[in-house]
Amino acid sequence: MTVNPSDLPNRVLAARQQCGMTQAELAEAAGLQQSVIAQIEGGRRKPSFDNLRRLALALHVSADHLLGLDEDSTSSPPAIAAIMRIIRDLPDDDLELLSAMAETMRKRTQKKRGSTRR
């Protein structure tokens, strides 16, 4: 696998857009200045390890994805990005409820798949 460091600005930009965030919103979520986000996306600045970690957490992607190291470096489906925009500001109790609902749906899907393989 060939890693192209010049892809990082595009990957950060694409992940931010997929999340429906502005540079200012990403900066706030990552605890960085908006000018730092602009410089990283413009390829004029490389993020430190800590800033890369902050960006990955704020964008809900892996650092490997931003660096182009993951096997499947395609972006999440648009539905996932839409869900991330919705849940970004939910309170903890709502996030716990949503997590329980998602787990129930996962189990239901696994059960359905298992019953169709017989």
Percent helix, strand and coil across the chain, each to the nearest 5: 70, 0, 30
65: which 2 tokens? 């994805």
| Pair 65, 24 in one domain | yes
pLDDT tens digits for 25-42? 999 999 999 999 999 999
Tell me, what's the pLDDT at 77? 61
What are the helix and strand counts (H, E) for the chain? 7, 0
| Residue ranges making up the domain that contains 78 | 5-87
Residue 73 has pLDDT above 50, yes or no: no
pLDDT, greater one: 88 or 54? 54
| Pair 12, 34 in one domain | yes
| Pair 71, 36 in one domain | yes
Where residue 20 falls among pLDDT bands split at 50, 70, 90? confident
| Pair 27, 64 in one domain | yes
Q: Which residues of 48-68 are buried (b: 16+ CB within 10 A; e: fewer)?
A: eeebbebbbebbbbebebbbb
| Pair 14, 67 in one domain | yes
pLDDT, greater one: 83 or 49? 49
Number of domains in the chain: 2
